[in-house]
Every structure is written in structure tokens, then in C-alpha cells.
Chains A and B, each alone.
Chain A
Amino acid sequence: DIQMTQSPSFLSASVGDRVTITCRASQGISDYLAWYQQKPGKAPEPLIYAASTLQSGVPSRFSGSGSGTEFTLTISSLQPEDSATYYCQQLNSYRATFGGGTKVEIK
């Protein structure tokens, strides 16, 4: 199976900060990469698919980039409601694996 490695696993930032989360695949996955946001007690919600395409309704402060084995999720100006855990997922294979998650805390 393709392994997905996210970093950092935790970050603390202030409102208005620019935040970047990295996701690395153990082999090339083209742009078959999705990002999700999960808040406590809730199901994950899709943010981005195809590495850089914003899901409908997702605020434009979220953006994704990358191809091959290295990807990033960027929040351009962190808001209080962005406090959550973020996961990347590869869908190059139907055995679609997730990264370990990044918990984002608001200072």
C-alpha cells in the first residue's frame, strides 16, 4: 500500500497566520490527492480534491498544491473556525490511504 506521511502532526498558530501542512506519498500518485477537515465528534469534510481543486463551498483561504509525491495544504489567513484536524488521502489506488493527521490549534 502507498504510505502517506503528514507533517507536522500538531501546530499552534494565531488568527491571521499563514499555515502550511505537508503530505508526502511513498510513491508517485500524480494529483490523486485529497484533503479533509475533521472537527471533534464529526465526520471528515472534504476540502480539496485533485491536489488543488477546492470543494464547492470551501473558503478561498484554503489552497492545495503539489504533484507526484509532495503536496501542501495552505490556509492563507487562519480563522478561529479552522481549529480542527486535517488529513490528506491518496486515491491513486482504490486502497486509498490517509496521512496521520495534523491538529491545528489556535493560540
Chain B
Amino acid sequence: EVQLVESGGGLVQPGGSLRLSCAASGFALNSYDMNWVRQAPGKGLEWVSYISSSGTMIYYGDSVKGRFTISRDSAKNSLYLQMNSLRAEDTAVYYCARGGSWNYGYWGQGALVTVSS
């Protein structure tokens, strides 16, 4: 059974850093494209970042480019999102999602990140 479980969310002050993890089971992470998607409270879905199955293609949304870094560890079968220089507007539930060309077929349960002083 495919499962994605996010962790690492929490409360952080503006300007701070946080690293989210997404532990995958039921499949090999390095065989699939992976993504981070976020949802601010009461708002819609916003695509954040993409990493290809090969790891050679990485993209970021304009709102996080230069501050966030996507990566993965094949040995741990985990996906990461390093978030630096956090702002209040980064407050959201962050989901990891598997998928590339056709849809995001599997999603984690989400991790809440709150940026506040």
C-alpha cells in the first residue's frame, strides 16, 4: 500500500527555518516524480516544488524560489523540503504528493507550518 507521511511542521518565527520530511512506503521514491503542495488556512491549493524521478529536474514556485530547497534520500525513501527565511505568508498545511504528468495520485496527510512571532 502506498503511503506518504509528512513530519517536521510546527511554529517558527519569521525569518526562521524548518525542514519538512515526507516518508514514503509501498514504493521507491526514486522511481517517481514528487511534489510539495501547500494550502494556507481557508485558501486554495498552491504548488510549491517538484523533483523528477531522476532528480535531475527541480522546479520551485515563484513565491518560494531562493528560500526553499527540495531534496530526497533514496536510502531513507524520504522527501524533504528545507524552508529558510520563512514569512507569515508561508503559514500553511504542506502536503507531499506523488505524481508528474497526469495527476498527483497519492498525497500525505499534511504538516502544518505556522510562521508567527
Contacts and interface: CB of A to CB of B under 8 A. Distances in A.
Chain B interface size range: 20 to 34
Interface residues of A, number: 24
Contacts of B46: 98
Contact of B59 (A46, A91, A95, A100): A95
Interface string B34-57: 010100000011110010100001
Interface string A47-59: 0111000010000
Nearest to A101: B44
A81 interface: no
A21 interface: no
A67 interface: no
B9 interface: no
A13 interface: no
Interface string A37-52: 0100001111011100
26 contacts: A1-B62, A34-B103, A36-B104, A38-B45, A43-B107, A43-B108, A44-B95, A45-B107, A48-B103, A49-B103, A49-B105, A55-B105, A87-B44, A89-B47, A89-B103, A89-B104, A91-B99, A91-B103, A94-B52, A94-B100, A95-B50, A96-B47, A97-B47, A98-B47, A99-B44, A101-B44
Interface of B: 33, 35, 37, 44-47, 50, 52, 57, 59, 61-62, 95, 99-105, 107-110
